[in-house]
Structure 1
Amino acid sequence: MDTARVSTLIPVRSVLVCAALVVVIIVAGLASMTIGAYDVNFAAVLGAVFDPSSDPDVRQVVLEWRLPRVLFAVLCGAALALAGGIFQSLTRNPLGSPDIIGFGVGAQFGVTLMMIVFELNTYMFKAIGALVGGLFTALLVYALANSKTMSSFRLIIVGIGVSAGLGSLTSWILISVSLEKAMMAATWGAGSIASLGFDQLLPAAIVFAVVLVGSLPLNRTLPVLEMGDDAATALGISPGRTRLAAMVFGVALVALVTAAAGPISFIALAAPQISQRLTRSNTPMGTAPVMLTGAALVVVSDAVAQLVGVPVGVVTVSVGGLYLAWLLAAQYARRA
């Protein structure tokens, strides 16, 4: 009896998966800090992190230049993965990711307006632009897709259409400005964490912590909402209020990353599904495993990006595109 009670309270598989993901993040993060113009081997990185009396030059390179990049990769991956879990649970569809239904493009459009049109390039103004753009897109998609009952298929299709329209507007803005401004926006639009330091990490971490705490109740309410509005209402959960909260918190997480690093695509799509399969969960809304999966994906992707000399967004798009093709094929085969 005691053993059964403990096994119910402690999801052993989830704990093991989380532990394995933490190891992957630490190893990949330490390995990524050996990559760069200044040659630092793995032992020197370990010494710089754990030994205060090690070479001060190496400590400066590792702790002041490279560590913030790794921490930002963890933060961005966790935020995007949690946003993906929220929207996939909300739409009850593995394709219900902010990358697919346009919220990420809306945040990108808002930042582009701030940077190019209003010439406000600080993190605060980019964060405001990303949040407003993402929320506007979310409300627009929700309004266009809402017809008495909310269909996840309709939401995704409308989101793809709105995303295409906003992408066209963004392209039109970029070709209408000077080459210098267009290059600046294009560089940001590739999705990179290379130039980010502790100055940007601290406010981003504070915002992430606030949004994470606010979204924790969704870990309980969204899986219930997946059973249908009638079941959720019978259990004392308001479907409308839950959807609104989910959209606000999900868009805030996407905006947080977009403002700091630009659009890092497909992590929100892939991480919840990978986490769900690893933990054998019935829902993509498992906060800790989902966030750790996203963090591991971005840390490993950024290490690969440094090796090949491209922004991390290029790596995630390349891998995510293959994953999306496989997911669509799997969905089609299941229905056939």
Structure 2
Amino acid sequence: MRLPVGSRQEILLHRRAVAITIVLVLAALTVMVLSILTGTYNISAADALGALLRGAGSELDRFIIIDQRLPRALAAVLVGAMLALSGAIFQSLSRNPLGSPDIVGFTTGASTGGLLAILLVSASSTFQIGAGTILGGFATATFVALITLRRGIGGDNLILAGIALSEMLSAANNYLISRAPLQSAEVAKAWQYGSFNAISWGQVRPLLIAAIMLLPQVLWFVRPATMLEMGDDAATSLGVRVGRIRGAMLGYGVVLAAVCVAVSGPIGFLALAAPQLARRLSRSAGVAMVASAAMGALLLSGADFLAQRLLSPFQIPVGLVSAALGGIYLIWLLVLPSDRGGQAC
């Protein structure tokens, strides 16, 4: 199957990858609907559906369904898709399954920018925190790029430099929280866990705008990323401007991760696991980017569903659930034989 992108480019689509992507999207939408129609608030699924579609029911019913459950479910799907896509971009850049933004330090750098905005500027709006996370993410990416410039932005160089910088930034983040006033430190610490517990339309609207602008852009990276998987020399011979494409992919992945951190706080392991799970299910060569986004949406919406239900009526930060699932995923990787491949959509 071929998908035209622009007037001169086409993307080769693997039939199994397309089928798996459709199944993952439908599963994510199913979890999203369940999250909206069920919960600790005593309202039947039929009444919840009526409040959602027709605005029926009491004012409290509409508030719970439309102003609490719907933005939370939508945020989980969007953040999951964007984080997973960021992970797919960085795994393609590094040609390493560990090349996710949380491992290579970009999520930690975005967290540092967000913490500086929260603690030093007393930022509270999504825009202010988002500006801090994007600046922090790009500062980290720039520093990593400068460290790895002589040997090329990619491969193990990117992983090692990112891990080293991530550890230093984690120490800086903990220091910032330890020196902050108690109330500010509690807010910052809660944000660092990664959570949708206090999500609202004020945070979801800019996230939705960012997703509409950013997610379709992945189609422009699939073809050159596929060529980069063959090596820099082969990609150059095929007309790919390697340095420019790597820089564009790096910036794109950083923005995706930073936007997600601004909305939910840092959520670990999702960007690491989703691309690899999508690749194994689709059986396509390399990291399947579109399928990765669908897998991320399903994983995070499912993790948030568990976070709301496991200790109901108490709600666990979804970042803790994703960390636990990430540990299970790493153990799974150790048990299963290794599998290598190239890049696919």
Q: Once the 2 structures are TM-superposed, how far is the Cα of residue 320 of structure 1 from its aligned partner?
A: 0.8
The one of 262, 265, 277 equivalent to 2:280 is: 277
Structure 1 CA distance for aligned equivalents of residues 324 and 40 of structure 2: 25
Q: TM-score, normalised by structure 1?
A: 0.90
Task: Give the unaligned 5+ runs of structure 2.
Answer: 4-10, 341-345
Say if 2:184 is the partner of 1:181. yes
Relative to 1, partners in 2 of residues 1:170 and 1:251: Cα closer, same or farther, differing over 3 Å?
same
- Deviation track 1:256-278 (CA, whole Å, cap 9, x = no partner) reads 11111101111111111111111
Whether the 8 Å CA contact 1:86–1:285 is kept in 2: the answer is no
Aligned residue number for residue 209 of structure 1: 212
Say if 2:319 is the partner of 1:316. no
Relative to 1, partners in 2 of residues 1:53 and 1:329: Cα closer, same or farther, differing over 3 Å?
closer
Aligned residue number for residue 97 of structure 1: 100
Q: How does 1:129-278 map to 2 (within 5 A)?
A: 129-150=132-153, 152-278=155-281
Structure 1 CA distance for aligned equivalents of residues 322 and 18 of structure 2: 26
Q: Once the 2 structures are TM-superposed, how far is the Cα of residue 150 of structure 1 from its aligned partner?
A: 4.7
Say if 2:42 is the partner of 1:39. yes
Structure 1 CA distance for aligned equivalents of residues 59 and 170 of structure 2: 46
More helix by share: 1
Structure 1 CA distance for aligned equivalents of residues 58 and 191 of structure 2: 34
Whether the 8 Å CA contact 1:106–1:137 is kept in 2: the answer is yes
Relative to 1, partners in 2 of residues 1:74 and 1:228: Cα closer, same or farther, differing over 3 Å?
same
User: What SS does structure 2 have at the residue aligned with 1:217?
Assistant: helix
Relative to 1, partners in 2 of residues 1:150 and 1:126: Cα closer, same or farther, differing over 3 Å?
closer
Aligned residue number for residue 292 of structure 1: 294
Relative to 1, partners in 2 of residues 1:128 and 1:76: Cα closer, same or farther, differing over 3 Å?
same
Q: Once the 2 structures are TM-superposed, how far is the Cα of residue 283 of structure 1 from its aligned partner?
A: 2.1
* Residue identity in the other structure for 1:199: G
Q: Once the 2 structures are TM-superposed, how far is the Cα of residue 303 of structure 1 from its aligned partner?
A: 0.5
Relative to 1, partners in 2 of residues 1:154 and 1:326: Cα closer, same or farther, differing over 3 Å?
farther
Relative to 1, partners in 2 of residues 1:5 and 1:24: Cα closer, same or farther, differing over 3 Å?
closer
- Deviation track 1:276-326 (CA, whole Å, cap 9, x = no partner) reads 111111121432x11111000011000100013201111001111221343
* Residue identity in the other structure for 1:291: A
- Deviation track 1:179-208 (CA, whole Å, cap 9, x = no partner) reads 111101001111111222222211111122
Q: Once the 2 structures are TM-superposed, how far is the Cα of residue 60 of structure 1 from its aligned partner?
A: 3.5
Task: Give the unaligned 5+ runs of structure 1.
Answer: none
Q: Once the 2 structures are TM-superposed, how far is the Cα of residue 23 of structure 1 from its aligned partner?
A: 2.6
Structure 2 CA distance for aligned equivalents of residues 32 and 251 of structure 1: 29
Relative to 1, partners in 2 of residues 1:5 and 1:84: Cα closer, same or farther, differing over 3 Å?
closer
Q: Once the 2 structures are TM-superposed, how far is the Cα of residue 24 of structure 1 from its aligned partner?
A: 1.5
The one of 112, 121, 126 equivalent to 2:124 is: 121
Q: Once the 2 structures are TM-superposed, how far is the Cα of residue 328 of structure 1 from its aligned partner?
A: 5.3
Structure 1 CA distance for aligned equivalents of residues 170 and 335 of structure 2: 25
Q: Once the 2 structures are TM-superposed, how far is the Cα of residue 16 of structure 1 from its aligned partner?
A: 2.3
Structure 2 CA distance for aligned equivalents of residues 35 and 5 of structure 1: 40
Relative to 1, partners in 2 of residues 1:15 and 1:150: Cα closer, same or farther, differing over 3 Å?
closer
Q: Once the 2 structures are TM-superposed, how far is the Cα of residue 148 of structure 1 from its aligned partner?
A: 3.4
Structure 1 CA distance for aligned equivalents of residues 13 and 279 of structure 2: 17
Relative to 1, partners in 2 of residues 1:93 and 1:331: Cα closer, same or farther, differing over 3 Å?
farther
Q: TM-score, normalised by structure 2?
A: 0.88
Q: Once the 2 structures are TM-superposed, how far is the Cα of residue 51 of structure 1 from its aligned partner?
A: 4.8
Q: Once the 2 structures are TM-superposed, how far is the Cα of residue 77 of structure 1 from its aligned partner?
A: 0.4
- Deviation track 1:54-87 (CA, whole Å, cap 9, x = no partner) reads 5664343212221110000111001001101100
Name the count of aligned residue pairs: 329
Aligned residue number for residue 306 of structure 1: 308
Structure 2 CA distance for aligned equivalents of residues 326 and 230 of structure 1: 35
Q: Once the 2 structures are TM-superposed, how far is the Cα of residue 41 of structure 1 from its aligned partner?
A: 3.2
